[in-house]
């Protein structure tokens, strides 16, 4: 069975600070996919990134960066120079090849950026 743990339930930081959201996953499969989604206060779910298990390169997109480490089963998300618009609930998710085609989500981290 797959499991995704987001131990940080809520985080608050002052605007312009950097913040890292943690994601730890569990799976016995060797081929899997990791995702991050953003859910702003308006409620929609916005896809941010997908990472395959065989690609451990970190990724940067503007102020966002992702650190994938298979050795620690982690896929952490860092926001640099945070802005109020980054306030949202962030979900990490996992799917596996050969499974039942489902995304297994973590419970989410609510990030509040204080102006």
Summarize as ranges the residues that interact with another protein (CB under 8 A).
4, 33, 35, 37, 43-45, 47, 50, 91, 93, 95, 97, 100-103, 105-108
- Nearest approach in angstroms of CB 33 to another protein is 6
> Which lies closer to another protein via its Cβ, residue 37 or residue 76?
37
- Contact status, residue 6 vs residue 94, Cβ threshold 8 Å: no
- Contact status, residue 78 vs residue 19, Cβ threshold 8 Å: yes
Phi, psi of 87 (to 5 degrees): -60, 120
> Which lies closer to another protein via its Cβ, residue 35 or residue 66?
35
> Which lies closer to another protein via its Cβ, residue 15 or residue 56?
56
- Nearest approach in angstroms of CB 44 to another protein is 6
Residues 6+ apart with CB under 8 A from 104: 2, 3, 4, 93, 94, 95
> Which lies closer to another protein via its Cβ, residue 93 or residue 111?
93
- Nearest approach in angstroms of CB 62 to another protein is 18
- Nearest approach in angstroms of CB 72 to another protein is 21
- Contact status, residue 51 vs residue 31, Cβ threshold 8 Å: no
Phi, psi of 85 (to 5 degrees): -70, -10
């Amino acid at each position: 069975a797959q499991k995704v743990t987001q131990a940080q339930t809520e985080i608050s930081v002052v605007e312009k600070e950097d913040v890292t959201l943690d994601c730890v996953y569990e799976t016995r499969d060797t081929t899997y996919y990791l995702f991050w989604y953003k859910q702003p206060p308006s409620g929609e779910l916005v896809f941010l990134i997908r990472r395959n298990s065989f690609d451990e390169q970190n990724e940067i997109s503007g102020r966002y960066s992702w650190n994938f480490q298979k050795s620690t089963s982690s896929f952490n998300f860092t926001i640099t120079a945070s802005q109020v618009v980054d306030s949202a609930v962030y979900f990490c998710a996992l799917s596996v090849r050969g499974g039942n085609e489902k995304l297994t989500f973590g419970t989410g981290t609510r990030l509040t950026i204080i102006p």
